[in-house]
Structure 1
Amino acid sequence: MPRLPRPAGIAMAVLALGVLATAPASGGEPALSDARLVAHFDFAAGRTPENIALERDGSADLTFAFARQVANVTRQGATRILATLPSVANPHTPLVRAAMVLGIARAHDGTLYVTYATGTAKTGVWRIARGGGAPRQIAKLPADGLPNGLALDEHRGVLYAADSVLGTVWRIPRSGGKAVAWAKGAALTPAPAPSEGVGANGIKVHGHAVWVSNTDRGTLLRIPVRPDDTAGAVEKRATGLAGIDDFAFTGRGHTVLAALISSNRVALVRPDGTHTEVLTRQAGLSNPTAVAVRDRTVYVAGGAYYTMRDPNLLIARLHRGFDR
């Protein structure tokens, strides 16, 4: 999620689809194939997809950051707006100065949770009932922060939100209530100027740990969840991932697909921290912001924040051997 003004009023120019390309991850065998764009969105209307949660039917729930909307998009590209976050008269959101809906997480019962950054008391976590409807704020977060990625741990009944400005992982009861600063430290903070000012960004719960990306520092981090639910020491699991935004695990192991927003790439990150480019702009990527994986189907959202052209949703196929 970069620093830029609200895009309303800017005309959208659609990228040519071009050649759908994949790159080999190792040994010449591609990790992904059959990449195709399934939906294009209106940049001028602020429909810039920021994050993804997957439904059981294979459709994707997307946050449209600057439109303040949550939408459901089928694998055939049909789009339905599920909810719109309330408008804010004078947003003072750090970095962007506009109200933005960012992270999204889905519970097994279909309830959706999103982060909303406004620079006002409306900043926090909001809940949307299954099937859509009026959002309800369930937790407040600091107005001077930028709550970005969101992850749900249903086993523990908590949500984790990554704050890109304050360098903090917040822990929030799923039922709502007071947010607690669960993890902090230099590894989660933005890099010094002249960086974009975006630290902790994407976040996932995986393997008894909370994993976080740091956009400015190009790192993928693992924070163990101790038996008493407190945060363990931050572990650096991969570096050199310039512009990393959101990410997703390909299976039960520690292999990750990471969206590299500024370079229009998706990288495969192996458990040892090495990484390889597996999708490029040739496949239709337009500043990829988020990745999701289910049953070897890979979803990539493109927010078009830098290209300002063709925000979209792409689907590709994950090859066997990379789904571990």
Structure 2
Amino acid sequence: MFRISAVVAAVALATVTAAAPAWASGQVSVVHFDLAAHQQPENITLEPDGSADLTFNGARQVARVTRDGRITILAQLPGGVSGIVRTGDGTLYVNVNAGAQTGVYRLGHGAATLFAPLPAGFVNGLALDGRTLYATDSSAGQVWRIPLSTGKAAVWAQGGPLAKVSGFGSNGIKVHDGAVWVSNTDTGMLLRIPVRHDGSAGPIQTRATGLAGIDDFTFDGPVVLAAINSASRLAVIRPDGSHTIALTAADGLSNPTSIAVRGKSVYVASAAYRTQLDPNLLITRF
């Protein structure tokens, strides 16, 4: 059972005391971004010092937000930027949608280069499993597998529960406990795809339903924390598929897109795509 227990140290351009829900104690720290500059965070990964690396989709940028609230633009990309992961040596990989230049880009030493070209669909979530990347295409209902050793992408899983209905199919993605987990935004499902011994995809399993508007998510032990974009909520999904709402717009969420966990700290990025109000990074503690 999760409970917010304390305030995270100041991690903001502006730190506010939110109206805390009944199960919360203390403050919530919030970094507010510039909507006019299209600073709408789509995805997140964390640095060892707790800084957050974010993709600003509309601005076509990757930015770093430090513990004292400083924002540094790390890269300007040729198209909209979505998923992001960090390897152990500090290299960042990001998904970019840019027509013929669509694919996974590698950021290192101040430069961004196309690492793995992908067909122009809508490349969205990105996950890392050791030396292998997995990327979702929300338009084609696919999961791509990309070894870091070669950068050669191949479709790993597709269709069925991954397919879109009218907007976004396979979206968020994480690797956990021998499987690739994927959210389908259109159907409101959380899916699990076992990784077989030979690296191929096993049968797609539905692990939770009734999550309309689910975007990206993360694991905290066996529990999933999911961003419910359209409803501006954070859902806590238990191993049996049941789920409850932990945070809402009243707590500062504004179309949340992605979540990261470091120890007891939980980072929730909100892009304000629909609300057009206060894109932000909310940080609290469970």
Considering the TM-score relative to the shorter chain, is it more than 0.5?
yes
Alignment correspondent of 2:236: 268
Structure 2 Cα separation of the partners of residues 171 and 56 of structure 1: 26
Tell whether 2:120 aligns with 1:128: no
Q: How far, CA to CA, are the matches of 2:129 and 2:151 in structure 1? A: 16
Establish whether residue 284 from structure 1 lines up as the match of residue 252 from structure 2.
yes
Matches within 5 A, 1:228-267: 228-251=198-221, 254-267=222-235
2:241 and 2:27 map into 1 onto residues whose CA distance is 25
**Corresponding letter in the other structure for 2:188:** G
Q: Structure 1 vs Structure 2: percent identity of aligned residues?
A: 60
Gaps of 5+ in 1: 1-16, 24-29, 87-98, 319-324
Structure 1 match to 2:160: 186
2:157 partner amino acid: A
Q: Is the 8 A contact 1:21 1:279 kept in 2?
A: no
Deviation at 1:163, TM superposition (A): 0.6
* 1:112-135 residue CA offsets vs partner (Å, 9 max, x unmatched): 0000012x2210000001xx5110
Point out which structure has higher relative CO (alpha carbons under 8 A, 6+ apart). 1
Matched residue of 1:135: which SS?
Answer: strand
Aligned to 1:8: none
The answer to whether residue 138 in structure 2 is matched with residue 164 in structure 1 is: yes
- Structure 1 Cα separation of the partners of residues 27 and 241 of structure 2: 25
Q: Residue by residue, what CA displacement relative to the aligned partner does 1:177-232 show, whole Å, maximum 9, x if unpaired?
A: 321000012200111xxx4x101110001101100000010010000000000000
Verify the 8 A CA contact 1:162 1:168 in the aligned structure 2.
yes
2:170–2:185 CA contact under 8 A, matched in 1: yes
Structure 1 residues 82 and 33 mapped into 2: Cα distance closer, same or farther (>3 Å)? farther
SS for the counterpart of 1:159 is strand
Aligned to 2:21: 22
Q: State the Cα distance separating 1:45 from its structure 2 match.
A: 1.1
**2:97 aligned with 1:117, yes or no?**
yes
Kept in 1, the 8 Å contact 2:17–2:28? The answer is no
Whether 1:139 aligns to 2:113 is no
User: In structure 2, what is the equivalent of residue 227 of structure 1?
Assistant: 197
What is aligned with 1:94? none
Aligned to 1:121, what secondary structure does the other structure show? helix
Shift of 1:21: 2.9
Match of 1:68 in 2: 60
Partner residue of 1:103?
Answer: 83
Distance in structure 2 (CA, Å) of the matches to 1:140 and 1:34:
46
2:124 matched residue in structure 1:
148
1:70 maps to a residue whose letter is V
Secondary structure in 1 matching 2:261: strand
* 1:242 partner amino acid: A
What is the TM-score when the length of structure 2 is the normalising length? Answer: 0.91
Separation of aligned partners in 2, 1:75 and 1:285: 20
Letter in 2 for 1:171: R
Matches within 5 A, 1:197-212: 197-212=167-182
Mapped to 1, the partners of 2:253 and 2:26 lie a distance apart of 14
The structure-2 alpha-carbon separation of the partners of 1:18 and 1:304, relative to structure 1 and needing over 3 Å to count, comes to farther
> Cα–Cα, structure 1 residues 58 and 33, in superposed 2: closer, same or farther, change >3 Å?
farther
How many residues end up aligned between the 2 structures? 272
Say whether the 8 Å CA contact 1:124–1:137 is kept in structure 2: yes
SS in 1 for 2:37: coil
Within 2, Cα distance between the matches of 1:115 and 1:199? 16
Q: Is the 8 A contact 1:35 1:283 kept in 2?
A: no
Aligned equivalents of 1:152 and 1:55: distance in 2?
Answer: 15
Give 1:242 shift: 1.1
Query: What displacement does 1:33 show?
Result: 5.1
Partners of 2:152 and 2:205 in 1: how far apart?
27
Deviating 4+ runs (over 3 angstroms): 32-35
Alpha-carbon distance between aligned partners in 1 of 2:125 and 2:253, rounded to the nearest angstrom: 20
Counterpart in the other structure of 1:175: 149
